[in-house]
Structure 1
């Protein structure tokens, strides 16, 4: 991975699911709805003063959302922040920088 660039999307790991679980309520608030299903499917990341994660999340039926989650550097607390969210995505839509 290049510093500042993203790597090709790969299947989500347990760590990525934990990130999704921690920002689920923020995603629901941003979307204005609740999700019964919130399963990380794939992701890519970008290293920039922390790490941006771009995550494809299955939210039920054929629906997916894409999340951009920023993990701050550990010396600044390492907190997670939902930076942005894209709605109305499908399983086929590539997860990429946004």
Structure 2
């Protein structure tokens, strides 16, 4: 399901993973696995970011051809920089494009 608020954000193009995104994904892994089941693989493949907020959608490989798209936010430094899982889409495949949701 696509939310209209997500569609109105100015999303950047898909980028290759970074060490920072790997760190963010590891912080939300437990929350994601509570919902989709424990995975032996959890590797960030690529991501999209917004221009106006600290918000990301990451494609995470969870084994075989399966992926999960996770929407992550990070609080501003003055609010502690906490990383939170906002939403996710599962199941996804490796060749599925990252679309804002």
| RMSD of equivalent CA atoms | 1.1
Could you tell me which runs of 5 or more consecutive residues in structure 2 were left unpaired when the two chains were aligned.
1-8
Q: Work out the number of aligned pairs and report it.
A: 93
Q: Deviations over 1:43-74 (max 9, x none)?
A: 011144x4111000000001000000011111
Could you tell me which runs of 5 or more consecutive residues in structure 1 were left unpaired when the two chains were aligned.
none
- Flag the structure with higher helix content: 2
Q: Does 1:5 align with 2:10?
A: yes
CA distance in 1, matches of 2:44, 2:66: 12
Which aligned runs of 4 or more in structure 1 are off by greater than 3 angstroms?
A: none
TM-score normalised by L of structure 2: 0.86
TM-score normalised by L of structure 1: 0.89
User: Contact conserved, 2:12 with 2:51, CA < 8 A, in 1?
Assistant: no
CA distance in 1, matches of 2:95, 2:33: 22
